Every structure is written in structure tokens, then in C-alpha cells.
Amino acid sequence: MKLPFSKTLDGRREIMIREHLAGRGISDPAVLSAMRTVPREAFVDSNLQDLAYDDNPLPIGDGQTISQPYIVAYMIEALEVTPADTVLEIGTGSGYAAAVLSRMAGHVHTVERLESLARSADRRLRMLGYDNVTVHLGDGTLGWPEQAPYDAVVVTAGAPHVPKQLLGQLTIGGRMVIPVGSSSHMQVLFRVRRTDEHEFRQEELCGVRFVPLIGADAW
């Protein structure tokens, strides 16, 4: 039996792009085109694949989640990624956001503190051919000094404050997008821009709800 396009996963991905992303104000063509090429269903358990294009976070094991597609798009749009950029993501989770970023940047380094998630994301990204993503196991509140500096840093877990080491690993002109809040489950999304060696400009973007960033310089 042939399903109508709107019921296939490709069809649902198109609806996600049109209604949940473009329809809610995501306008950067590079973000929309990256999200059109990455199969979100490949980043969740097979029993959740039918829900892959609902605009919701989904469980990925170990009490963690793959973020809602709109928030992934919103954060990546706010990062202003260009094709030559080296990007650092803190919180690999399923690897989905890293895969989307890899379609827009030169290289993506992504750090995950939980070994089982880091291993499965690495395996998945290799299998799907995202060769410009490197998964690192470690505490991302310390950044990843070996490959610094980064043109863009995105933190996909809620921090109590902006970790100092992450600021120091930004290029001049680099951007960081990070949820910060005094409660471990409710935050405000900030964009921090490094304008000079010692100067950073901070903008408040919107309210968000992320799992906590856990580490030496966080919860």
C-alpha cells in the first residue's frame, strides 16, 4: 500500500519545516535546508519514529531528551553559523543537533558527559555519514580546549551561569547560545558575542526548558 506523502516520514519532515519552523519564524534558508536533510527518525528509538516530526522533545535514555525541532532550529539560527565555522556543541545527546550543524559548518565538535549516549551518538553519526562531526566524552562545562577556539558554541542543557572556560574558547566575533537559569529546569536563552579579547555582549532571546547541565562549572 502506498501512503499519501503527508503520512510518510519524508512528508512529515516537510510539514515540520513548513509549519513548525518556517511557520513560526525560522527564516534562515541554511537552517531550513539543513533540517530538511537530516532524518530525525534515525536519532530516536524505533518505537518513537512515528513521533519524530511532532514538535516535541523525545526521550533518548538515561533520563535525557532530544530537543524539540523548533528549539533546535531557533538555537542554530541564533548561532549565525557560516560554512567555514568550527562549532562546539555541549550536550551531544542523540547527535541530532550536531548532524544539523554539520550541514552548515566546516567541523562540529560535540561533547557528552554520559558514555552510553556519546557512544551511541558516535555510532549513529558514523553510520549516517556525518564525517565532519567528532564526538568527545567529557565534561563540557570545561569546553574542549584541544580544538579551541570555536566560531560558535551551543550549549544544549540548562546552566546556572555561563561557564567561564566556554567564553575563553570563543574566537573574537564568535557567538555562544546557552540556556541559563537559577532553576535547573527553567532557563532564559542567551546569545553571547565575543567582541574583543576581554569583551562580551549578551542578549536575552527567549524562555526555554532544558535538562540540567551537570559538571565542574554547572549544577
Q: Catalytic residues, which ones?
A: 67
**Residue 65 near ligand SAM by CB under 6 A:** yes
Distances from the Cα of 20 to the Cα of 23, 46, 188, angstroms: 6, 23, 21
Binding mask 114-143 for ligand SAM (x = CB under 6 A): x--x---------------------xxx--
* Preceding peptide of 69 cis, ω within 30°: no
The grid coordinates of residue 90 equal 555541549
Nearer to ligand SAM by Cβ, of 99 and 170: the residue is 99
Nearer to ligand SAM by Cβ, of 115 and 195: the residue is 115
Binding to ligand SAM (CB under 6 A): which residues in 5-64? 64
**Alpha helical stretches, state H, 169-211:** none
**Residue 93 near ligand SAM by CB under 6 A:** yes
Count other C-beta atoms under 10 Å from residue 88's C-beta: 28
Please name which of 175, 122, 158 lies closest in space to residue 166, comparing C-alpha atoms.
Answer: 175
Q: Which residues bind ligand SAM (CB under 6 A)?
A: 64-67, 90-91, 93-94, 96-97, 111-114, 117, 139-141, 156-157, 210-211, 213-215, 218
